[in-house]
Amino acid sequence: MRAYLSRFVLFGGFIMEIIQNIAVAIDNLRISKGLTVSELCLDICDESSYRRYKSGNRDIPIAKIKQFCDKLGIGLDEFLYNVSVKNSYEYKKIHKMFLDLQSKKYDEIRKSLPLIKVDDIGIDRNKVLFKFILYTYQYETKKITSSNYYELLLKLLPEQSGFYTFNDLIIFEKLALLEVNQNESPSLKILLDILLNTEKLYVTNTNQYVLATTYANVANYLTKRKEYEEALKICNKGLEYSKSFYVTKNIHYLYYLKAYCLFHTGDKEGATFNLSIVISWVFAIQDEYMSNYFINLIMKEFNMTKSMIYQMHQKVLANYL
C-alpha cells in the first residue's frame, strides 16, 4: 500500500499522515452519500474492522480502499489524489490564505501573496485554489472589475464535468453570485445539481463548514430570483448535511431562509415555527449584533413587531422547558 501511495506524494513525505486520514476521508464520503456503516461495509469488511480503520488502529489495505471507492462512486486515483493534495505542505499554506479570505483578512492575504509563486506550485488543484484566492482578493478589494473576475473564474473550471471537487464548488458559487441578477444563471443550475446530489461531490472534512455555508448562499440566491420551491429543497438538504456533520456555522441562516420560503409559498405556520428556531438559536449564542440583525430582518420581511417576536420565543421556551 505504501509503495502504491508513494506515486501520489512526490513532495514532502506525507505518506504516514495520508494513511491515517484515508479511513476518515472514506467515512466522510459515506456520510455525504447517506450510507450507513452497514451498507458501506456490506461485502467488503465487518463493521469492527471498519471502526479500527477509522480509529487508526489498523492500516486499511489498498484492495479495501478500492472496494470502498467503487461503492462510493469515486475512482481510486481520484480519491487518493484528493487525500494527498489536502495533506501537502503547499496546500496548508494556501488553505490558510483561503481561511483569511473567508474572514476578509485582506491585509494578511496581501502579506502572503508575494511569498507564493504560482509557477512553483507543484499540484494543479493547489494552483487553481491559489488563483481563486488571488482573483477573489483582487475583486473584493476593487482591483479588478466584476466582468474581469467572471472571465478569470471561468478559466479555472475543469474542461470535463460530472464529478466535482471543493475547488469547483467555490468557483461555481462565486460565478452564481455574479450571475444572480441575470435572466439565466448556468452556474446556479450546476450548483443545484451538485448540492442536491452530493454523490457528484468530493469534499474533505477540513472543508465541510464551507459546503454548509454554500447551501445557505445558494438558497439565498434562489430566493432573490423568487425560486422558492428550489430554495426550500436546498435549505432542507443543507440542514440535513449540517446535522450529519455537526456543522453549526450558518445553520440559523438556513432556518431563516426556510422560514422565508415557507412564508412565500403560503405555509405561515411552518414559517413561524422555523423563525422561532432562528430566534432561539441567536438568543442562545448571546450575540447581541446577531440578535438585533435577525430581529430587524424579521420585523421588515415578515411584518412582525418586537413584541410578537419575543412572544414567539417565549412560546418555544414554554413548549420545550
Per-residue pLDDT of the chain (321 residues; tens, 9 = 90+): 444 444 344 333 344 455 557 887 888 778 777 788 899 999 898 988 888 887 777 778 888 888 888 888 777 777 776 676 555 667 788 889 999 999 999 999 999 999 888 888 877 888 899 999 999 999 999 999 999 999 999 999 987 666 788 888 999 999 999 998 788 899 999 999 888 887 666 665 666 778 888 999 999 999 999 999 999 999 999 999 888 878 888 899 999 999 999 999 999 999 999 999 999 888 888 888 999 999 999 999 999 999 998 888 787 666 654
Boundary-marking domain end, from 134, 156, 178:
156
Residue 60 backbone class (left: φ over 0; alpha: ψ -120 to 50; beta: rest): beta
Q: In the structure, how many helices (H) and strands (E) does the chain have?
A: 18, 2
- Residue at 210 is within a domain: no
Q: What was the pLDDT predicted at 12? A: 37
SS3 262: helix
SS3 202: strand
Boundary-marking domain end, from 109, 140, 156:
156
Boundary-marking domain end, from 130, 156, 182:
156
Q: What are the backbone dihedrals phi and psi of residue 241, each rounded to the nearest 5 degrees, phi first? A: -65, -45
- Residue at 112 is within a domain: yes
- DSSP-derived secondary structure letter, 42: T
* Domain identity same for 47 and 115: no
- Residue at 296 is within a domain: no
Q: What was the pLDDT predicted at 227? A: 94
Q: Residue 261 and residue 12: Cα distance in Å, rounded? A: 49
Q: What was the pLDDT predicted at 161? A: 63
- Residue at 41 is within a domain: yes
Count of structural domains within the chain: 2
What is the domain extent for residue 10?
2-86
Q: Residue 303 and residue 147: Cα distance in Å, rounded? A: 37
* Domain identity same for 100 and 60: no
Candidates 222, 305, 221; CA nearest to 265 is 222
Sign of the torsion formed by the C-alpha atoms of 212, 214, 216 and 222: negative
Sign of the torsion formed by the C-alpha atoms of 146, 147, 150 and 155: negative
Candidates 137, 127, 10, 26; CA nearest to 76 is 26
Q: Residue 265 and residue 129: Cα distance in Å, rounded? A: 39
- Residue at 263 is within a domain: no
- Residue at 76 is within a domain: yes
Number of residues assigned to the chain: 321
* Domain identity same for 70 and 106: no
- DSSP-derived secondary structure letter, 144: S
Residue 162 backbone class (left: φ over 0; alpha: ψ -120 to 50; beta: rest): left
* Domain identity same for 109 and 34: no
Q: What was the pLDDT predicted at 52? A: 84
Contact 244, 29 (CB under 8 A): no
Q: What was the pLDDT predicted at 270? A: 93
Q: Diameter of the chain by CA atoms?
A: 67
